[in-house]
Amino acid sequence: MTHYSILKLNKLALLFLLTANTAIAQYGYDSAYLMFPIRPGERNYLAGTMGEIRGTHFHAGIDIRTSGIEGLPVYAPADGYISRVKISTGGYGNALYMTHPNGLTTVYGHLKSFSKPLAEWVRAQQYAKESFDVELFPARNQFSYKKGEVFAASGNTGGSSGPHLHFEIRDQEQKILDPMRFHFKELIDEAPPLIRKVAFTTMDIKSRINGQFGRFEFDVTKEGDSFVMHTPLTFEGTIGVEIYAYDRFDGTWSKNGIPCIEVMLDDKKMFSQSITKLSFDEMRNVAVHMNYGEYLTSGQKFTKLWVDDGNWLKVYEAKDWQGMLKIRDSSDHKLEIRTWDSYNNYSYFKTTLSDKGKRSNATIKSLSKLRREGYEITGNVMELMNPNGVARQNVLLYSSGQAYELPPVYHVGANDLYLWDLRNGLPDSVDLCGTMQKYDFKAMVSPHHEYNYFDKDIDVAFNRYSLFDTLYLAVKDKQIENGREVFAIDNVLDPLRRSAKVTLKPLQLYDKEKSAVYSYSSKGNLGYVGGAWDKDGISFLTTSLGTWTVATDSVPPTIKPAVINKSECRLIIEDDLSGIKSWKGTIDGEWVLLNYEYKKKLLWTEKLDGSKPFDGEFVVVVTDNAGNQTVYKTKL
């Protein structure tokens, strides 16, 4: 063994000793209490970590890679008993919950199978309930396992995109703990986080970045021990900072979450986050923890390094201005962003900021960033652009019958930019030097209050928990596209905390038994939503605003036999529009369990008594979300 290898091993051993008791300090649990649940004693790799952003929620555990295969044995990490079993088409698929004597609960998702006694009991319960989807709560110690005993096999069931084991650790209150804090020796991580971009946002109408208003992104490069940017920045007013970064894990290219971030201004902590424990009722706050609009637009997950309005997460420390930056003098100021993972691998971003009088302004914004119809909204401020190429011209903005003359606040090339505080009134239109631009604003909706909007085409009902922050509701007039009635609420970039009720009022005639609401993409693609018809139209609950249509599905699902014999039956089922809702199988009228894997479009039988062959008429009924049914029959 080389001297370098010995030094590296000694370093890893020292790191393990220093961090082995992190779980005790963080949670009050001994790290050594749990063994690793899959391939213990071997090096393992992760595809996901606890707390990383997963679109509409934070990831609740770690995803352990299984080398692209299913069926690896899953071991009890400590003595415990199965306290909950959940079988579902989506989500965690086949999932087990194990309760341990010290109060911890460990969770295992996307499993292929369970140990024989447990599997037989679950199957008997499915037959008794005549349902594939079940949620079961075995008696205490009914299915007990010793530490290191195999109780399941890894798989790819439910909403999994590939074979892996989803593994969670929860405390006595069912709050999610970070498994990485238990520092399993099977996981080795010496790779620091990677910082890809930083972004800065003006937080009120008087604030500027290099003399401009809005949100600005910058690529960063690594120089020496730090990430840096080379665009000089001047700040005026109140500024919010964002970071696009992710953690790398040794031996894998997965983009994992970063649990810990600090923002330092002149060595003073302005903001910090530490995602080491989460509650399930906090999950939706991810929509204001990140820049939701940027995520929908570019797919990049920028983390806000301030506590935004409506963000109820308890993972932050922000004493002044909710973590936003304010520079009030002409001195240079040192900005540093520190990021680190659960193994204390650090990365730093460093730059220098000045006030407006210190540096000459550099043009930093592309006008294409005005993503809506010639305008953008940042907080409460609407930013307008004059597209006519006539510089230094005032424009007329109309709101509630009043005309307001707006001077340009700054210029980018030959284009003028204008700002309007939406709290002063919702614009009906603006005269951009002879070009009239109309807007669809209907109401300013405040959070924590109920609000109902009624219109000839669409109604919207917000409850007191629907909104994170003030919403400037923009409802478009109904359009006809490709013969379809299209209804749009132009607030797709604004997240909802809880659902709102939307009622569409179509004028075309529909078969109400077969017709439902569908999301409608810019390319005309449809996605089933549902809804209930009444005398006013069709209503549905939604946690995202956007564009919808009403469509009729009169085509039943298809059933194609793949394997049919007395030992097993396998069938491929598909539906082209509304999607599969339910399925049922019988043999001579007796219910038979049909497992369903939607990713493979596969149904397959599972006997209650494996020793008895199937015998009789096998009937499968598949129903889609529009109520269309297809029946398959054969003699076994």
Architecture of domain 558-635: Sandwich (2.60)
DSSP for 161-218, please give it.
SSSEEEEEEE-TT--EE-GGGG--TT----PPPEEEEEEEEE-STT-EETTB-SEEEE
Convert 538-560 to b/e letters by CB count within 10 Å (16 or more is b).
Answer: bbbebebbbbbbbbbbeebbebe
Cα separation, 603 vs 108, whole angstroms: 23
Q: Give the start-to-end residue ranges of the domains of the chain.
A: 3-182, 194-355, 367-439, 443-552, 558-635
Q: Are 82 and 142 in contact (CB under 8 A)?
A: yes
What are 374's two structure tokens?
Answer: 């010639």
In 3D space, the residue among 71, 312, 311, 277 whose CA is nearest the CA of residue 180 turns out to be: 277
Q: Express each pLDDT in 244-289 by its tens digit.
A: 999 988 878 889 999 999 999 999 999 999 999 999 999 999 999 9
Q: To the nearest whole number, what is the mean pLDDT of the chain?
A: 91
What is the dotted CATH code of the domain comprising 443-552?
Answer: 2.60.220.30
Q: Express each pLDDT in 428-465 by its tens digit.
A: 999 988 889 999 999 999 999 999 999 999 999 999 99
Q: Which amino acid is at 523?
A: K
Q: Say what the pLDDT of residue 3 is.
A: 33
Cα separation, 58 vs 279, whole angstroms: 10
pTM above 0.85, yes or no: yes
Q: Give the DSSP H/E element, type plus range, for residue 593.
A: strand 590-597
Query: What are the C-alpha distances in Å from 513 to residues 22, 319, 377, 533, 580?
Result: 58, 56, 40, 9, 16
Cα separation, 534 vs 470, whole angstroms: 30
Residue 50 DSSP code: T
Q: Say what the pLDDT of residue 16 is.
A: 43
Residues of the chain predicted below pLDDT 50 = 1-20, 359-361, 363, 366-368
What are 582's two structure tokens?
Answer: 């339910």
**Same fold across 3-182 and 558-635:** no
Query: What are the C-alpha distances in Å from 247 to residues 26, 31, 50, 344, 634?
Result: 21, 23, 12, 11, 54
Measured CA angle at 535 (ends 530, 537), to 5 deg? 40
| Burial status of residue 187 (CB atoms within 10 A of its CB: 0-12, 13-18, 19 or more) | buried
Query: What are the C-alpha distances in Å from 248 to residues 343, 535, 586?
Result: 12, 55, 50
Q: Express each pLDDT in 139-186 by its tens digit.
A: 999 999 999 999 999 999 999 999 999 999 999 999 999 999 998 999
What are 51's two structure tokens?
Answer: 């707390």
Phi/psi of residue 197, each to 5°? -145, 155
Residues 6 or more apart in contact with residue 181 via CB below 8 angstroms: 22, 23, 26, 27, 31, 276, 342
Cα separation, 214 vs 212, whole angstroms: 7
* Domain 3-182 belongs in CATH node 2.70.70.10: yes
